[in-house]
């Protein structure tokens, strides 16, 4: 089969590799119908995730059809079309019993981390993939749902919702600021509306993405390239600061921005994948009673979000901006890696 293989920092190849095989009774083999590229894949290619071995197949999002099942599978069948969760979880260990699937104690390759696709085992940017713990890690795709809708449930919708909105404790009437209007940031903008905030402020350097943010529920936008960007944000809060600041980029500057605009007693929720340390001004923040949260998505809300997408309660149709075939994988990476230049938000490969 063909797959996108990591060759070391800055290097990748779409090449022939062996087909995956069943290894455990709880495995299934899925023929991929659609996949996509995540900002985390770009971080891996930059060398920000050194644990990823040369030769690893990248990708952790996807939709496919089951072609083979392990002898321990009872709830899935060959021919089922499924959405693959980016997190693999056994559903039985102490962490999984608490809903902390991201720190499942059983996944292969690394104890205590549920994200293994494209990290510790071969991922979804391939013609076929082996899915461990399948009955707790895939969701049957409803009839009538498009691939461009379903693909968003693998990672970005649960990540924006769980790590941004839920960890940030968005409440009715809150003023929420989301720094970064990429796919995950816009997922946080969109799903924050489920909790009834009074304002949702999208902050970004890219005017095209800021314009798009209104389609996802942003009430206001601020260009962080403006010298008075902070003044603009505070003006939208009567000078008090936002109740919840969500960081969705993953660089030190944007995390610092979040801490500068949050009000006393507010929350900073970090979604971004950071490749280097961030300085934290505790000498200024300790007295402001600020909560700071961060984490790896659990996907324990995937089922609920699947229902909302099925019922068209979330405007997910605005996410996919570019489509490619699998044999255009390298071209898709070039487009997504230069998202601002290409006005790309989410790419779909099928």
Residue 310 and residue 171 share a domain: no
151 confidence band (pLDDT: 50, 70, 90): very high
- In this prediction, residue 326 carries a pLDDT of 97
- In this prediction, residue 109 carries a pLDDT of 66
pLDDT tens digits along 167-200 = 999 999 999 999 999 999 999 999 999 999 999 9
Residue 334 and residue 233 share a domain: no
**Mean pLDDT computed over 312-336:** 96
Residue 17 and residue 52 share a domain: yes
Residue 149 and residue 7 share a domain: yes
Residue 74 and residue 48 share a domain: yes
CATH code of the domain containing 149: 3.90.180.10
pLDDT tens digits along 168-177 = 999 999 999 9
Within 10 Å of residue 134's Cβ, how many Cβ atoms?
26
pLDDT tens digits along 20-48 = 999 999 999 999 999 999 988 998 999 88
Domain of residue 41 covers 2-155+298-349
Residue 113 and residue 6 share a domain: yes
Residue 273 and residue 163 share a domain: yes
Residue 22 and residue 60 share a domain: yes
112 confidence band (pLDDT: 50, 70, 90): confident
- In this prediction, residue 308 carries a pLDDT of 97
DSSP code string of 285-307: HGGGT-EEEE-----TTHHHHHH
CATH code of the domain containing 249: 3.40.50.720
Domain count, the chain: 2
Residue 336 and residue 219 share a domain: no
**Mean pLDDT computed over 238-249:** 97
**H-type helices in the chain, by residue range?**
39-46, 94-97, 147-150, 156-159, 183-192, 207-213, 229-235, 252-261, 282-285, 302-310, 329-337, 339-342
276 confidence band (pLDDT: 50, 70, 90): confident
Residue 187 and residue 111 share a domain: no
Residue 69 and residue 140 share a domain: yes
Residue 205 and residue 137 share a domain: no
């Amino acid at each position: 089969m063909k797959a996108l293989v990591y060759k070391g920092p800055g290097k990748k190849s779409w090449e022939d590799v062996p087909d995956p095989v069943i290894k455990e009774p709880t495995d299934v083999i899925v023929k991929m119908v659609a996949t996509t590229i995540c900002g985390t894949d770009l971080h891996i290619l930059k060398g920000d995730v050194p644990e990823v071995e040369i030769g690893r197949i990248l990708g952790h999002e996807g939709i496919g059809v089951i072609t083979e099942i392990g002898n321990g599978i009872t709830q899935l069948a060959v021919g089922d079309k499924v959405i693959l969760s980016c997190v693999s979880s056994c559903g039985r260990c102490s962490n999984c019993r608490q809903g902390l699937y991201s720190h499942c104690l059983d996944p292969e390759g690394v104890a205590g981390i549920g994200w293994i696709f494209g990290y510790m085992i071969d991922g979804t940017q391939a013609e076929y993939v082996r899915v461990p713990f399948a009955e707790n890690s895939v969701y049957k795709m409803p009839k009538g749902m498009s691939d461009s809708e379903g693909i968003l449930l693998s990672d970005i919708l649960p990540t924006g919702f769980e790590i941004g909105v839920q960890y940030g404790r968005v409440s009715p009437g809150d003023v929420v600021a989301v720094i970064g209007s990429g796919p995950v940031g816009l997922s946080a903008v969109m799903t924050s509306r489920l909790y009834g905030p009074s304002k949702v402020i999208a902050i970004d350097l890219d005017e095209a993405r800021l314009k798009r943010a209104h389609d996802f529920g942003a009430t206001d936008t601020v260009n962080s390239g403006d010298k008075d960007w902070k003044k603009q944000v505070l003006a939208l809060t009567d000078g008090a600061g936002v109740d919840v600041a969500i960081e969705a980029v993953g660089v030190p500057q944007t995390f610092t921005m979040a801490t500068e605009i949050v009000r006393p007693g507010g929350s900073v929720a970090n979604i971004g994948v950071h490749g280097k340390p961030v300085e934290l001004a505790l000498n200024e923040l300790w007295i402001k009673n600020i909560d700071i949260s961060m984490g790896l998505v659990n996907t324990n809300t995937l089922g609920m979000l699947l229902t909302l997408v099925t019922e068209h309660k979330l405007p997910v149709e605005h996410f996919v901006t570019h489509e490619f075939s699998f044999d255009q994988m390298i071209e898709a990476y070039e487009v997504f890696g230069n998202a601002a230049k290409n006005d790309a938000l989410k790419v779909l490969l099928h």
